[in-house]
Chain A
């Protein structure tokens, strides 16, 4: 497991605080699986010390795309990346999400959590029936709508301010969609309160969540990322995840 520097083919802004970086990375694009993440070095020196874990938003035809929201100093530095730069990448890391065959798959994404579900939708589109419920605060922040449609998924959209689709959070539309499906397999990514509400609302349907929280190393060695497991102990979500069965998490 060695860091590799990949050339940046493009950087664009998806909405005011979300950026997409496209890497020229043929081997990586072939190797990476939905649910896995890349650990990205930001800046040139030892500060910030830690890499920033980013889930893969999409990968095909030799290109890997990463989408991220600017939330702090690290992601702000990353947003300054320009075409022609090289990005120092460690990965793919983490265990891939389960890869079902011939199932009803329901993807539920909120905000920047929509990003990794696009790659999941692409890989699961053949051999499964993929449904999606995507939500954001506003129409502007409801990213990647066109890309989902291009895959043949007709996502149900929601916005908190009602500027597009159903007004309100994704929970109820997701519950309606799940109720109509036979043995749905649910994958979700989004803010923690959304994941918590969704797994509670869909109970006992198994819900696989893509955990996007602070990590130390991303490789399982530092024991800094820990989600409480029902019945005690921790899920080390960098190495045991980042896709975890949310029904087993004690939030």
Chain B
């Protein structure tokens, strides 16, 4: 039972979320179990990321401040992209810029046949320039999306934040800019303190993810989906098939598995299997029977 989004067919609605499965190469053998992978965020130049420690735990979740460490576009294209051809699922490349024009340059230079779509990261909470500052501004979201739209025909998925902004507003801005879908949502700002009351993370603050985020993420999907005419890709604390089904019910067409992969790298495949079982048990013939049923009459 496959699902379509922006003209692409996905073998399952379940994707591995950006930053939690690297480039998928460590688990290429099980990549056929999921619909696709969203790569670690790529920037034009290599980024060293934030100083350690980069991760803390909170009840039911984690707070990370990786800070977009990545090898940069040239190494990604030269070293990783050829190997990504081995993956047996859709490949969505997450791109991040510190200026709007950088997003457009990234998508243009990633015009590679194995790149199926882009996820525009306008929502990283761990960088000084861009990131969540773009994502909190509907005007910036629309502009970045439009600049990218002019430079690529591949589907554009805009990854939104809810840090001090209504994601329904930025989702409408993304749609106006020509996005094919939006991802709801990136991590929420968080602060972890050490025993002396000082910030624990090397980047001072971080982004909260994991199952503790799920109720809020579900609320956001339920809020954003009816506000726009393009599909929603959900992300936020999915640990199992029932969680994934909740997000589809709330109106998402695809669903990403993120932090769960840190505890078990097989999580995306397992969630995909559990979701399929969930649907079979309820005799659902099509994903459309599930998607959006939260707001359906009767």
Contacts and interface: CB of A to CB of B under 8 A. Distances in A.
Interface residues of A, number: 28
B60 A49 contact: yes
Interface string B18-47: 011110001100000000000010000000
A91 to B, nearest CB: 12
Interface string B244-271: 0000000000000001111111100000
A214 B53 contact: yes
Contact of B26 (A51, A221, A224, A232): A221
Given A1-B27, A223-B40, A50 B263 contact: yes
Contact of B57 (A1, A50, A90, A219): A50
Given A50-B262, A222-B20, A214 B26 contact: no
B48 to A, nearest CB: 7
A168 interface: no
Nearest to B54: A224
A25 B19 CA distance: 32
A222 B59 contact: no
Interface stretch (A5-13, A40-48, A147-155): A40-48
Given A49-B61, A221-B20, A227 B52 contact: yes
B69 A216 contact: no
Contacts of A233: 48
A222 B261 CA distance: 9
Contacts of A216: 54-55, 62, 64, 262
B210 interface: yes
B210 A46 contact: yes
Contacts of B190: none
B265 A217 contact: yes
Contact of A90 (B62, B69, B239, B264): B264
Contact of A49 (B52, B210, B266): B210
Interface residues of B, number: 33
Given A50-B57, A223-B40, A2 B266 contact: yes
A56 B59 CA distance: 27
A54 to B, nearest CB: 15
Nearest to B46: A233
Interface in A1-45: 1-3, 41
A249 to B, nearest CB: 12
A166 interface: no
Interface string A179-217: 000000000000000000000000000000000001111
Contacts of A156: none
Contact of A222 (B61, B210, B262): B262
B262 A217 contact: yes
A51 B22 CA distance: 18
Minimum-distance CB pairs A-B, first 8: A224-B55, A217-B262, A221-B22, A224-B54, A216-B55, A47-B60, A46-B211, A226-B52
20 contacts: A46-B263, A47-B211, A50-B55, A50-B57, A50-B262, A216-B54, A221-B20, A221-B21, A221-B262, A221-B265, A222-B262, A223-B54, A223-B69, A224-B54, A224-B66, A225-B52, A225-B54, A225-B55, A227-B52, A228-B51
